[in-house]
């Protein structure tokens, strides 16, 4: 992210626009590195997320100087465990056997600020003990009095309400409005399983917390290339004027995964499915970022207001029954990358007759001035051929086709259908941006050949690309909620997908099966085929 943008995010452009370039850089470095002390409490410390994402992200932040040694990181869970047991377990899972000496030394230093406290979520006295302990640990590490605290709720969602009430009873939630920023609560997904439950959960949290204390995490927003969507659109002059109904033929968003239900995930997944697990949050957030209008300021409220307008304007892509614009599928056995994969119904903890969707595709529209009439096609699923997330913008053909398009193999060329210009934003793997356009094939005739211009992150940047959780945790520590989902965005997303969920759960629509390792059921292709369009098959090098 560019300096200007960072400065705008941190302080408001108007306050610092008078600084010269050197002062700006210094100010940027200050705002990231000297952030003072912050205590971090992780509820659900024995869980997979803590070991796989949260502690590694905090370790990275500490290595880079973003988290100072006066900031205690306290794991909270139900089991009895000593600080050393907690540290050793994490060390084994994060460092493994292969870490170099420097990493081990850095870890040992970081581990000194790691602690574990046992809390039974429903026992009031445990919260009082936790409050006392937190203050003691802050004093022990030399943190300032009144240090901001971040509480990360990485437990089962059914425990969120109890945890927040416990914090409240123990006096850990500041009552004075002016001090409210001293407690920030990060809430992991899923945030509800439909509109009603999301609203209820929100009410429960709001009984004790203010909206600006709640950070609803969607880790997609922490991905470097997802943030780059905004910079690419609003920091360049030549693409943005084309991103509208006059020039764009259609937009496709694919979030595909080759994994299935590894790690015993089938139990959770079968209560969720592709629509709730990925489309309602990650995919709709990508859609909001690619569809939104430029914000007046690069700040949390303005950006989220613009995203919200897109989510409010979502419409089914066609009139008539839901089956005309939303399809679902489930994987049967097949081959993924030449490896045999069992059917979803055979997966551990999945009921053998489950009708849960592991794939969803939708055709939507954004009913506003910019996008009216442009189809947006979304798809996501498990056990597809590759792990790849990308946004593909296909432009309209030039008004008159003056040249013949050819496809050549050596000197042998065939005339083919004209190819439209395409802009592809690849989010993962190998983050890149590429552009397909037409050029004259050298020779005596006017023949057009489609070519691609690539920009590959790895080729251009050598600096550390932060993991999504690193970036998002740093933002919470800084009190910046730009990359977190506001409640109204979340409700708008649920409101849009709820009728589809109801329709599927009433059993009204058949479930199509697709062999593992393919691009989903045939119905997904039919969504586009009627208009002569096709999904772009991601090309992986
Ligand atoms: C999570 C979903 O939110 O996102 C998972 O619960 C999914 O099912 C994951 O695998 C995908 O994230 P990423 O970063 O691997 O694309």
pLDDT value at 26 more than 70: no
Q: Is the CB of 277 under 6 A from ligand 1?
A: yes
What distance lies between CA 10 and its chain's CA centroid?
A: 21
Pairing verdict, β 326-332 and 359-366: antiparallel
Average pLDDT rounded to a whole number, residues 209-215: 94
Is 454:432 a contact under the CB 8 Å cutoff? yes
What does 303-347 look like in DSSP terms, one character per residue?
A: HHHHHHHHHHTEEESSSS-GGGTEEEEEEESEEETTEEE--GGGS
Q: Is 188 in the pocket of ligand 1 (CB under 6 A)?
A: no
How many angstroms is it from 219 CA to the middle of ligand 1? 8
For ligand 1, what atom is nearest to the CA of residue 189?
3
Least confident of 45-59, 63-77, 282-296, 501-515: 501-515
Under the banding of pLDDT at 50, 70 and 90, the label for residue 78 is very high
381 Cα–ligand 1 center, Å: 10
Q: Which of 389, 417, 29 is nearest to 229 (CA)?
A: 389
- In this structure, are residues 77 and 44 in contact, taking their beta carbons and an 8 Å threshold? yes
The stretch 478-497 carries a mean pLDDT of 95
- Strands, E, within 419-493: which ranges? 422-428, 432-440, 447-456
In this prediction, residues 211-225 reach a mean pLDDT of 93
| Cα–Cα distances in angstroms (integers) from residue 230 to residues 221, 226, 359, in the given order | 11, 8, 28
Asked whether residue 455 carries a pLDDT value surpassing 70, the answer given is: yes
Out of 156, 191, 219, mutate this one to test ligand 1's pocket (max ligand atoms within 8 Å of CB): namely 219
Q: What is the mean pLDDT of residues 516-536?
A: 94
Mean pLDDT, the chain, whole residue set: 90
User: 226 alpha carbon to ligand 1 midpoint, in Å?
Assistant: 14
Determine contact, residues 148/173, Cβ cutoff 8 Å: no
Q: By alpha-carbon position, which residue is closest to atom 13 of ligand 1?
A: 220
Ligand 1 atom nearest 257 alpha carbon: 10
> How far is residue 255's CA from residue 278's CA, in Å, rounded to a whole number?
8
Confidence band, pLDDT 50/70/90 cuts, at residue 23: low
**350: CB partners within 8 A, 6+ apart:** 261, 266, 267, 269, 270, 344, 356
Cα 241 to ligand 1 centroid, rounded to whole Å: 32
Alpha carbon 156 to chain centroid, angstroms: 19
> What's the CA gap between 495 and 513, in Å, rounded?
27
CA of 382 to the centre of ligand 1 (A): 10
Cα separation, 454 vs 436, in Å, equals 9
Q: Output the pLDDT for position 541.
A: 67
Q: Which of 364, 329, 346 is nearest to 253 (CA)?
A: 364
Number of the ligand 1 atom closest to the C-alpha atom of 387: 16
Q: Is the pLDDT of residue 151 over 50?
A: yes
- Eight-state DSSP code of residue 485: B
Is the per-residue pLDDT at 63 higher than 50?
Answer: yes
Least confident of 177-191, 328-342, 349-363, 385-399: 177-191
Q: Whose CA is nearest to atom 10 of ligand 1?
A: 257
Taking CA atoms only, the protein residue closest to ligand 1 atom 4 is: 278
Q: 98 pLDDT band (50/70/90 cuts)?
A: confident
Ligand 1, atom 7, residue with closest C-alpha: 278
From 47, 277, 381, the mutation candidate for ligand 1 (largest count of ligand atoms within 8 A of CB) is 277
pLDDT at 502 over 80: yes
For 426, what's the count of Cα atoms within 13 Å in the CB-facing half-sphere?
21
User: Is the model's pLDDT at 244 over the cut of 70?
Assistant: yes
488/506: higher pLDDT: 488
pLDDT confidence tier of residue 3, bands split at 50, 70 and 90: very low
Q: Mean pLDDT throughout 381-389?
A: 96
464 vs 347, higher pLDDT = 347
Spatial distance between the Cα atoms of 519 and 381, rounded to a whole number of angstroms = 9
Mean pLDDT for the stretch of residues 184-210: 95
**Percent of the chain whose predicted confidence (pLDDT) is above 70:** 93
Site to substitute for ligand 1 among 271, 278, 426, most atoms within 8 A of C-beta: 278
Q: How confident is the model at residue 34 (pLDDT cuts 50, 70, 90)?
A: low
- C-alpha torsion sign, points 7, 456, 366, 487: negative
CA distance 242 to 475: 32
Distance 214 CA to ligand 1 centre (A): 22
Among residues 219, 282, 363, 397, the one annotated as catalytic is 282
Distance, CA of 158 to CA of 268 (rounded, Å): 13
Question: What CA–CA distance (Å, rounded) separates 225 from 457?
Answer: 9
Task: Report the percentage of the chain scoring pLDDT > 90.
Answer: 73
Residue identifier of the C-alpha nearest atom 8 of ligand 1: 277
Residue 16 confidence (pLDDT) above 60: no
CB-based contacts of 396, cutoff 8 Å, min separation 6: 247, 248, 249, 420
CA of 8 to the centre of ligand 1 (A): 30
Within 10 Å of residue 444's Cβ, how many Cβ atoms? Answer: 5
Question: Cβ(91)–Cβ(97) under 8 Å?
Answer: no
Of 9, 73, 65, the C-alpha closest to 38 is 73
Among this protein's residues, is 386 annotated catalytic? no
Residue 220 CA: nearest ligand 1 atom is 14
Question: Over 70: is that where the pLDDT of 198 sits?
Answer: yes
Q: Work out the average pLDDT over 393-397.
A: 96
Q: Is the CB of 218 under 6 A from ligand 1?
A: no
Which residue has better confidence, 517 or 445? 517
Q: Which atom of ligand 1 is nearest to the CA of 389?
A: 16
- CA of residue 263 to ligand 1 center, whole Å: 13
Closest-lying ligand 1 atom to the alpha carbon of residue 255: 16
- Residues whose CB falls within 8 Å of the CB of residue 210, separated by 6 or more in sequence, listed in order: 177, 180
Q: What is the pLDDT of residue 417?
A: 84
Evaluate whether 363 touches 527 at the Cβ level (below 8 Å). Answer: yes
pLDDT tier for residue 401 given thresholds of 50, 70 and 90: confident
Residue 7 clears pLDDT 60, i.e. is over it: no
Q: Is the pLDDT of residue 1 over 50?
A: no
Question: Is 326 a residue whose pLDDT tops 80?
Answer: yes
Instruction: Kindly give the number of the ligand 1 atom that is closest to the alpha carbon of 223.
Output: 14
Containing 149, the helix (H) or strand (E) segment is strand 149-153
CA distances from 367 to 62, 291, 318, 361 (A): 45, 11, 12, 19
Mean pLDDT value across residues 436-462:
85
414: Cα separation from own chain's centroid: 42
What pLDDT is attached to residue 507? 79
């Amino acid at each position: 992210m560019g300096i200007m943008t960072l400065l705008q995010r941190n302080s408001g452009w108007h306050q610092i626009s008078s600084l010269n370039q050197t002062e700006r850089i210094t100010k940027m470095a200050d705002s990231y590195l000297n952030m003072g002390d912050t205590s971090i409490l992780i509820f659900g410390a024995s869980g997979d997320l803590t070991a796989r994402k949260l502690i590694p992200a905090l370790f990275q932040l500490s290595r880079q100087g973003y988290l100072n040694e006066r900031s205690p990181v306290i794991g909270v869970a139900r089991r009895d465990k000593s600080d050393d047991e907690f540290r050793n377990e994490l060390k084994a899972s994060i460092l493994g056997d292969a870490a170099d000496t420097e990493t081990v030394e850095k870890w040992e230093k970081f581990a000194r600020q790691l602690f574990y406290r046992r809390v039974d979520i429903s026992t009031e006295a445990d919260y009082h003990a936790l409050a006392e302990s937190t203050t003691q640990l802050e004093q022990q590490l030399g943190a300032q009095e009144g240090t901001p605290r971040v509480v990360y709720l990485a437990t089962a969602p059914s425990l969120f309400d109890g945890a927040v009430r416990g914090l409240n009873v123990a006096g850990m939630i500041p009552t004075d409005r002016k001090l409210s920023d001293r407690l920030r609560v990060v809430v992991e997904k899923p945030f509800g399983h439909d509109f009603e439950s999301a609203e209820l959960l929100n009410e429960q949290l709001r009984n004790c917390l203010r909206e600006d204390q709640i950070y609803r995490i969607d880790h997609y927003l922490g991905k470097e290339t997802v943030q780059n969507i905004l910079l690419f659109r609003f920091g360049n002059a030549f693409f943005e004027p084309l991103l509208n109904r006059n020039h764009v033929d259609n937009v496709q968003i694919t979030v595909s995964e080759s994994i299935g239900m590894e790690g015993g995930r089938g139990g959770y997944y079968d209560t969720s499915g592709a629509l709730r697990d990925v489309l309602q949050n990650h995919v709709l957030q990508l859609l909001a970022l690619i569809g939104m209008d430029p914000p007046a300021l690069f700040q949390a409220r303005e950006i989220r207001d613009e995203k919200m307008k897109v989510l409010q304007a979502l419409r089914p892509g066609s009139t008539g029954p839901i089956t005309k614009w939303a399809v679902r599928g489930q994987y049967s056995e097949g081959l993924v990358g030449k490896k045999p994969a069992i059917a979803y119904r055979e997966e551990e903890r999945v009921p053998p007759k489950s009708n849960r969707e592991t794939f969803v595709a939708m055709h939507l529209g954004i009913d506003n001035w910019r996008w009216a009439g442009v189809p947006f096609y979304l798809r996501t699923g498990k056990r597809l051929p590759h792990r790849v997330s990308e946004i593909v913008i296909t432009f309209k053909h030039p008004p008159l086709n003056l040249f013949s398009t050819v496809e050549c193999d050596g000197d042998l060329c065939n005339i083919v259908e004209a190819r439209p210009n395409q802009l592809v934003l690849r989010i993962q793997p190998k983050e890149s941006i590429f552009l397909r356009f037409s050029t004259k094939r050298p020779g005596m005739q006017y023949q057009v050949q489609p070519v691609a211009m690539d920009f590959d992150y790895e080729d251009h940047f050598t600096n550390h690309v932060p993991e999504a959780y690193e970036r998002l945790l740093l933002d919470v520590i800084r009190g910046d909620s730009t990359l977190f989902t506001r409640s109204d965005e979340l409700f708008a997303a649920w409101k849009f997908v709820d009728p589809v969920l109801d329709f599927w759960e009433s059993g009204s629509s058949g479930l199509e099966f697709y062999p593992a390792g393919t691009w989903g059921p045939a119905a997904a292709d039919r969504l586009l085929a009627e208009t002569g369009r096709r999904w772009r098959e991601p090309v992986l090098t």
